[in-house]
Amino acid sequence: MADSMSAQDKLTLIKANLQEVLKEDIVEDVILRQNRPLKIYWGTATTGRPHCGYFVPMVKLAHFLKAGCTVKLLLADIHGFLDNLKAPIELVKFRAEYYRFVIVSLLKSLNVPIDRLVIVLGSSYQLSAEYTMDLYRLSSVVSEHDSKKAGSEVVKQVANPTLSGLIYPLMQTLDEQYLDVDVQFGGVDQRKIFALASDALPKINYKERAHMMNPMVPGLSGGKMSSSDPDSKIDLLDAPHVVEKKLRKAHCAPKEVEGNGILSFVEYVLFAVDGLKNDRKGSFVIERRAAEDVEPLIYDDIATLKADYEADRVTPQLLKPAITKALIELLEPIQAEYQASPEWQDIANKAYPPEEVKKKEKKPKNLGTRFPGAKRGVAAKPDGHVEGKSKDQVNLGTDAEGAMKNLDIQSKAPS
């Protein structure tokens, strides 16, 4: 596929839908003058369960692979642990394996070749003596202020941060060298780390790399799509009725285009996926109500769809069902592969063990202060005897004869 593409066509596909490219001349030099495959790395910290937001970087990885690039996928297990313990150390190994299953399945579902995909586990080289020494060297030329600033949009911010949050950006910088790449790719939230890498690597005699950034797609509730916020995301393994319910509740204000996560998903995922699967320009279909007896709306560019949405020709009531149908179809092959793989299911249970349901503790009934013996700290038992500190004062025994004796009841003949 890539062999039949011109160098300019490869560049166009590589840069499609990107928000920003830093040091674009590095990319052009490799493609146009060196005439070799571009080496790109994308990393993901193996923390929460991957969600539908992962389709956005996957579409770009698919573009890179289709253009003949070598894509190195870093499963950043140590980063997941460093980021405020988002991934407990005992679960890191299983979560990295879970991510491998998910990402390979995602890329296969997009109908792209994965022979140039190289999956690397961060701990396979980040614990070496050479890497550790370079990390020390890097820490000697980067200030605490710059490292903290670099990670401010990526590392979880807390009131009393740990030192691990400062190491995180340094390791991401150093990974460019150890993965031997021309480009690092990520979301625009990574921009400050990319700027740090461009500035710091030459200071320890390593070459500067290019950086590519895709937009951040808003979540279902309007903010950033996050694994830690269930209301903002759709899990890749969510059942169709769950997908429908979440999209029905999703934030999608009429006539508002900016910050609309539903429209952004159409733009950066559904259009691109349709194009990749069918090897043509992507399109998006909106079915209208059968009672209206009208043809469906077919869009082959996002600008027209946005214009119709702003003009209220396309409403949330029309848009949401169309996206629901398209997304369920998109998830079908991934979920089918999961259901057919006992190994994947086993890893899922180990990586994300179900939370234990805490049983409610039974509280002893409060029988009130009028219950016999309550004030004296005693309790009656089913057989009639009592227990407690003052049991001798109130115990009447367990049979009628003993009880009468203890109460000093005497039988008197009637006069």
What does the pLDDT look like over 317-353, one tens digit per residue? 999 999 999 999 999 999 999 999 999 999 999 999 8
Query: 376 or 202: whose pLDDT is higher?
Result: 202
Reported as a single tens digit per residue, the pLDDT across 162-197 is 788 889 899 999 999 999 999 999 999 999 999 999
Residues in contact with 415: Cβ distance below 8 Å, sequence separation at least 6, in sequence order: none
Most confident residue range from 141-155, 260-274, 283-297, 315-329: 315-329
Q: What does the block give as tokens for 324?
A: 């629901």
> Mean pLDDT of all residues in the chain?
85
Q: Taking CA 7 as the corner, what is the angle to CA 277 and CA 5, rounded to the nearest 5 degrees?
A: 40
Give the dihedral of Cα atoms 194, 117, 87, 183; nearest 10 deg. Answer: 0
Cα 68 to Cα 113: distance, rounded to the nearest angstrom: 9
Question: Encoding tokens for residue 27?
Answer: 């990319």
Rounded to an integer, the average pLDDT of 236-251 is 92
Q: Lowest mean pLDDT of 35-39, 45-49, 94-98, name the range.
A: 45-49
Structure tokens at 253: 């204000």
Separation of alpha carbons 276 and 254, rounded Å: 30
Q: Considering the entire predicted model, what is its pTM?
A: 0.80
Does residue 155 carry a pLDDT above 90? no
Say if residue 29's pLDDT is above 60. Answer: yes
- pLDDT at residue 391 greater than cutoff 80: no
Q: Which tokens is 133 given?
A: 């020494």
DSSP for residue 190:
G
pLDDT band of 236, cuts 50, 70, 90: very high
State mean pLDDT over 354-368.
68
